[in-house]
Amino acid sequence: MKFSSKIQKCGLSPIRKFYPYQVEAQKRGMKIYHLNIGQPDIKTPESYFETVRNFSAPVLEYAPSPGMPVTIKKVEDYYKNLGMDIQPGDVVITAGGSEAITFTMECILDNGDEIIIPEPFYPNYKTFIYNTGADIVPIKTSAEEGYRFATREKIEAAITPNTKAIMFTNPGNPTGVVLTPEERRLVADIAKEHDLWIIADEVYREFTYNGEPLATMGSFEDILDRLIIIDSVSKRFSACGARVGAVICKNKDFQAEFMKLCQARLSVPTLDQLASASLYDVDPQYLKDVNVEYKRRRDTVKEELSKIPGLVFSEPEGAFYVMVKMPVDDAEKFLIWLLTEFNDNNETVMYAPAGGFYKTPGAGINEMRIAYILNCDDLRRAIQLLGKGIEQYNARK
Amino acid sequence: MKFSSKIQKCGLSPIRKFYPYQVEAQKRGMKIYHLNIGQPDIKTPESYFETVRNFSAPVLEYAPSPGMPVTIKKVEDYYKNLGMDIQPGDVVITAGGSEAITFTMECILDNGDEIIIPEPFYPNYKTFIYNTGADIVPIKTSAEEGYRFATREKIEAAITPNTKAIMFTNPGNPTGVVLTPEERRLVADIAKEHDLWIIADEVYREFTYNGEPLATMGSFEDILDRLIIIDSVSKRFSACGARVGAVICKNKDFQAEFMKLCQARLSVPTLDQLASASLYDVDPQYLKDVNVEYKRRRDTVKEELSKIPGLVFSEPEGAFYVMVKMPVDDAEKFLIWLLTEFNDNNETVMYAPAGGFYKTPGAGINEMRIAYILNCDDLRRAIQLLGKGIEQYNARK
């Protein structure tokens, strides 16, 4: 039996493929510190579960294809508070940010089209894009430059006559980079000059740690006809299992195409939408507390990483990730070694090897992504384990 | 800004486009009997809501990409009870039957490929398939033949060198056709002879009314390497708003490709999966009662339709739909007339014009799909309104 050439270009998750080694290590009684996954440990606001408990309709019916009015309203209000002129039809609820991206790609990308994305990037973008028949052209960055991509030279080097869009996660996964206002403006200008769609994945918007809150790309009024914002409740409210996201776009033609896909899949789950709407009423202190906690974690990670000789990394400014170049031959081999050979008081550590975050073959081979989703004590210990690991790994004969 | 050629081949839902006329009629105080939508009025089993209420984890985390073990187990057991040899990895949980179909198409269809589907068919298949770059080749049927498609002549007439799969809904939406054991075997044989995938959308499995319960296509052991079964809790347990479905396939290569898409979209909502698992523990009497109720509705529809002169239809054997050819010029025009001009005691009726269920241009122009999802009294009145409508519509000058 034959398969699509497009699905065959896709791969399994580069983050999940080390799971068998994890299982084996756990069987041997090892405790593993998980710096490899993006599942936050922050409590989901209680209003989510209250809403679900209070649901009393006798039939669990389909929700409307564009989303439930109450959920749309909350997301509309959220973007109005960010200063955008949001009108009816600009917000559509999706099955997580994932569906928002998938449908966006299906609307705008054709066979042979190209989309430019700063590298390293969220690995699942590959699957979403390759299934349209389009290709990713990476905007090259480096650990030494702090993975910053928003220079005219770097971006324009990736543009070809086939380029249809520029996409980026801001704050960045896996890099932790937050674009400056000037960088955001530059991206907007280049997209205008080259007539490109801008896809701004802003699901980590609240997770910035250097004072300035992140303004949405939607604050530039001159690009609203080409701007597609991806949003989600997953990280903002620690509700990853809700799978409720949104697309925000003021281009009516785009929304008309997007709605074809929404109607075909019928609806997003009814209960999760209702409960997600309630999240937007959470006390603003919740988001402030979460931010303070992550900033503390960020600082802890930075402090501990600074003690390890030979690492190259920059202070992460947002999201809850940091990319680190290590003085090892191969981050995948080192990770397997950590899970099979290394043992410090029956403890070891996992990270995400960065190869899967690159499209360029061989790039990122000695880099890793750390997700700082543990409490500060555990983070400290985890990174100390990394340091010991690097030392022992390189001392092998 | 430009859009994909593939999305531009897709359309909005042919069922939902008459909604504006409905709204206007309701503003004028008209009561509308809805025979146009597939949202059942049957109560969702209480265990769904109980499970959701009892959820007590502090963080709503991602579920595993293939589905939650408890949910997978229930679907596995369900198929074991149908007599299939189900092994680990054969069942994957999806975001409704819709996602199961979308991902299946993305796995097996390439640009220029063809999939054959008996016509009329569920309109959303078009969107799922066109977005892969493949095309649908319809297997032609007619109202006079009761929309039956499973003859060697009809099926082979649709096969070309580009055909990769045959897909059908059984019991049929919109036709209500249930394949006989001989017809099922014939489809299996032809798929084997021509080396085709078989996609069996069996979401209406419990909804058969002529005694014989529906055996799954999975009962044919010689086609299990090419068989993909689409399933869902939506209709079975009247839980459309859960958006929990499944794909059942014993081809390991298929499941490996399918998992790439599952991992990319991360997971299906956690609460809905847990609650859907509980549905499989419902008292078997629930499904029996539902079946009895729908059989009564089916019989009512049949009885009332038989009183209207000039209709062509066959006794629907399954699902909760019946296709009817009417003595009118155009089912869309007639529907608009029913919503704008017709008035019987301030009541009127809606159905789904059948054009959208066809790919062949012009086909189904004077046909409609009736969904019998109302109680018997309302169904009787609704179909009587149809009869009066046809008479008055054709008597206009």
Whether A49 shows a pLDDT value over 90: the answer reads yes
**Residues listed for chain B:** 397
> Torsion-angle region of residue A85: left (phi > 0), alpha (psi -120 to 50) or beta?
beta
Here the tokens at position A347 are 């403890």
Q: Which of B1, B40, B65 sits opposite A254 (nearest CB)?
A: B1
CATH number belonging to domain A5-43+285-395: 3.90.1150.10
Average pLDDT, chain B: 96
Read off φ and ψ for residue B74, nearest 5 degrees: -65, -40
Whether A232 shows a pLDDT value over 80: the answer reads yes
In angstroms, the CA B345 to CA B343 distance is: 6
Q: Structural domain boundaries of chain B?
A: 5-43+285-395, 46-279
SS3 of residue B396 by DSSP:
coil
A293 — contact with chain B (CB < 8 Å)?
Answer: no
Whether A397 shows a pLDDT value over 80: the answer reads no
Here the tokens at position B288 are 């029996």
Q: How many CB atoms lie within 10 A of CB A226?
A: 21
Q: Which of B2, B4, B61 to mutate to test the interface with A (most CBs of A within 10 A)?
A: B4
Overall average pLDDT of the B277-295 stretch: 96
Residue in chain A lying closest to B194 (CA):
A1
A103 — contact with chain B (CB < 8 Å)?
Answer: no
pLDDT band at B14 (very low <50, low <70, confident <90, very high): confident
Chain segment B293-324, per-residue pLDDT in tens = 999 999 999 999 999 999 999 999 999 999 99
E strand residue ranges, B35-125 = 91-94, 114-118
Nearest to A319 by CA among A127, A121, A82: A121
Q: Which of residues 172-231 of A touch B (CB under 8 A)?
A: 195, 197, 225-226
Nearest chain B CA: its distance from A148 CA (Å): 25
Q: Which of residues 324-383 of A touch B (CB under 8 A)?
A: none
Read off φ and ψ for residue A52, nearest 5 degrees: -65, -40
Contact B288, A40 (CB under 8 A): no
Here the tokens at position B31 are 């009561």
Out of B30-39, B248-257, B296-305, least confident range: B30-39
Q: What is the pLDDT of residue B213?
A: 73
B5-43+285-395 and B46-279 in the same fold: no
Contact A227, A198 (CB under 8 A): yes
Whether A310 shows a pLDDT value over 80: the answer reads yes
Q: What is the pLDDT of residue A70?
A: 98
pLDDT higher for B15 or B216?
A: B216
> Which amino acid is it at A180?
T
Residues of A in contact with B251 (CB under 8 A): 1
Residue in chain B lying closest to A255 (CA):
B3
Q: What is the pLDDT of residue A15?
A: 80
**CATH 3.40.50.1980 holds for B46-279:** no
CB-based contact A243 B266, cutoff 8 Å: yes
Q: What is the pLDDT of residue A213?
A: 73
Q: What is the pLDDT of residue B233?
A: 97
What does each C-alpha distance from B378 to A218, A359, B106, B302, B336 come to in angstroms? 49, 59, 41, 14, 21
Residues of B in contact with A271 (CB under 8 A): 52, 241-242, 271-272
Q: Which fold has domain A47-279?
A: Aspartate Aminotransferase; domain 2 (3.40.640)
Q: What is the pLDDT of residue B214?
A: 83
Nearest to A393 by CA among A346, A362, A348: A348
CB-based contact A257 B106, cutoff 8 Å: no
Overall average pLDDT of the B223-230 stretch: 98
Nearest chain B CA: its distance from A10 CA (Å): 7
Whether B15 shows a pLDDT value over 90: the answer reads no
